[in-house]
Amino acid sequence: MSTTPLAPPSGSPTAAPAPAPTPIPLMELTTGFWRFKALAAAVDLGLFTTLSGLGSANAAELTAALHLDPRPARMLLASCASLGLLVRENDRYRNSETAEHFLVEGRPHWFGGFVRYSDRHAYPAWHDLQKALLTNRPTTWDPDTQESAFVTADPAILNDFWGAMFTLSSFTADALADAHDFTPHRRLLDVGGGTGAFPAGLCRRYPHLRATVLDLPRVTAMTREKMAGLGLEHAVSTHDGDFLAEPALPEGHDVFLLSMILHDWDEATGRALLTKCHAALPTGGTVIICELVLDNDETGPAPAALMGLNMLIETRSGHNYTHAEYTDWLTGAGFTDITTVPLVAAGANAAIVARKP
């Protein structure tokens, strides 16, 4: 019997050949910084804030307003339009909805602070990523001479950081409020809560809820100022303290939140902090971890994996962990009924919720 394969009948379909590899994905990865630096330059030049004040403008008007020569102005406007940051109608430009909402300085959800912080603080440190990989040491600060990444000679960088974190966390708080029902909860402790974006958003959505931000004194001073500006002093209070150094966390709360906190530390520190949470919560109390969580096989998602590299250049021992790791930590601390709620937000892709039995 012949084993020679038969040719397909005339006219029958054949499998299409696999597409040949192309360097396009590598080109997009390699030139990704072009997009970021165009955005950073536009923010620093005040393009979007200027254009918001004008409503719309042609290239000549923007060239004059930004004190640029026509050639670089044309290139910047074309780049921002191609990135969806500007809309061109005939010969006039206006901000896109995203730019008008987030990139106009002074607006409630100003994102330009994060752009500036990334450009001036994180971007130079990422140039030394290979050094961080080889030495297992941060590159945004010197752990031999500084207490933390927040010790800096440039207060403007810190202002940009805290403003950026409030904006990012505000939208993550909205996603959490949609995904988890806070109706049964009465008092929230936001561990390392910064300037209070989560309590502000959650207490607005759930008016019965009262919240406390636990953070260092230099941070809680900013929190109180922020809550006063938002008219939320009645709902959000502060507690000065170091949640790592102190032996116990404040009691009197039935839900604890750790948002973008555990990724700053190693496993032993994370486990110890969850043990403190368990000890301070009442029976039936809840702990919620909000993070960019890695898949268990550590192949993605990319924002979580790349945030892990950012923790390498920003912290002594930080890491982005997997669902399985957080579940194991919570179980080890004595929590039960562990569930994961997906989130669609810039600051977190999941809320891991657990209960103290």
- Residues classed as catalytic: 263
Q: Are strands 57-58 and 92-95 parallel, antiparallel or unpaired?
A: antiparallel
CA count, 13 A, side-chain hemisphere, 290: 28
Gap between the Cα atoms of 255 and 90, Å rounded = 54
Closest CA to 43 of 91, 80, 72: 80
The token duo for 83 is 């990135």
Q: How many residues does the chain have?
A: 357
Look up tokens 């969850």; give the residue: 274
Report the C-alpha gap between 134 and 257 in whole angstroms: 34
Cβ atoms of 281 and 254 closer than 8 Å: yes
Q: Give the residue among 196, 189, 115, 194 at the shortest CA–CA distance from 157.
A: 115
The backbone region for 18, taken as left when phi is positive above 0, alpha when psi lies in -120 to 50, beta otherwise, is beta
Between CA 214 and CA 216 the distance in angstroms is 7
Across the strands, what pairs with 286?
255, 355
Contacts of 246 (CB under 8 A, 6+ apart): none
Tell me how far apart the alpha carbons of residues 51 and 47 are, in angstroms, rounded to a whole number. Answer: 6
8 A C-beta contact, residue 138 and residue 314: yes
Report the distance separating Cα 103 and Cα 39, nearest Å: 10
